[in-house]
Amino acid sequence: MEYNYIYLEGAQAAYSLGDFKRCLILLKHAPLKSKEVVQLYCDAAYSMWQRRTETSNLGMIKEAYAKVFEDSDPELIPVFEYIRLSNIYIFEYSFSGALKIMQLAALRNHQTEIICMLQSWILFRKLKLDREADEYITYVANSITLDDRVVIDNWSYVEGSNFYFPYVYLFCCAHLIRKYYNTSDTYMKEKILQRYKVLITEAYWIHFDTMPESQSIANAWFDNPQTWLEAGEYLQEDYILLSEDALWEVY
């Protein structure tokens, strides 16, 4: 046990110095039996990928994630790590590979978590699987509540991630508006419009920490290209496709 602890200490020291490759090498000798080790493994792999200076390291990065997903208890793996690994595949234009990661997350009881639903939705859209994409974003739009967020330093995030909570509402509202204009049934149009009003009002309230004085003010914020530009820039590091989708709304 002490032998393993020495390797873990060395890996932690290497990570703090930014030597992520050495960190991963040392972690091979540390059992994946705790959240601390699993998180360090994932952080080192993703940090190495973020540098993107040595393409030869890509195999090592995927190997590290494979070891985590295969050798550790699924309960020890944060849901955000599925998002981060899918992001690596997305950057390689392997959208089907990214979707498989999200399907693995679903099999491990993360299927209804908002962050997984959003990432799966945008991948379905990219793969032109329209029926599945519609099902996922409709689920999010109809089920999202304030219980799905966590507040840190007065900022609201999707629980278990760094995804700014009001931006979930923006994507849902954009979907609802498209659905509104593509629906001919009067009753359904009214139902969709009411849900849009609820979501955009909540998004405005969370973002500005005050209720909009009128519906038109909330609508103007939603329609403002600057709103979508800020969302796209915020999401571009860890949510490539969602960032791209937000930036399309600017135009």
The model carries a pTM of 0.86
Q: What is the pLDDT of residue 1?
A: 47
What are the residues whose beta carbons fall under 8 Å from the beta carbon of 155, sequence distance 6 or more?
164
Radius of gyration (Cα) for the chain, nearest Å? 20
List pLDDT tens digits, range 109-162.
Answer: 887 889 999 999 999 999 999 999 999 999 999 888 888 899 998 899 998 889
Q: What is the pLDDT of residue 56?
A: 54
Share of the chain above pLDDT 70, in %: 96
What are the residues whose beta carbons fall under 8 Å from the beta carbon of 126, sequence distance 6 or more?
95, 241
**What rounded mean pLDDT belongs to the chain?**
91
Q: What is the mean pLDDT of residues 173-178?
A: 95
List pLDDT tens digits, range 52-92.
Answer: 765 557 888 888 999 999 999 999 999 999 999 999 999 88
Asked whether residue 223 carries a pLDDT value surpassing 60, the answer given is yes
User: Rounded to whole angstroms, how far apart are CA atoms 83 and 74?
Assistant: 15
Residue 208: other Cβ atoms inside 10 A = 13
User: Rounded to whole angstroms, how far apart are CA atoms 245 and 190?
Assistant: 26
Q: What is the pLDDT of residue 54?
A: 58
Which class for 44: exposed (0-12), middle (13-18), buried (19 or more C-beta within 10 A)?
A: buried
Task: Report the half-sphere exposure of 93 (CA within 13 A, side-chain side).
Answer: 0
Q: What is the mean pLDDT of residues 26-37?
A: 88
In which region does residue 30 sit, left (phi positive, over 0), alpha (psi from -120 to 50) or beta (all else)? beta
Domains in the chain: boundaries? 1-77, 80-251
The CATH number of domain 80-251 is 1.20.120: no
Asked whether residue 199 carries a pLDDT value surpassing 80, the answer given is yes
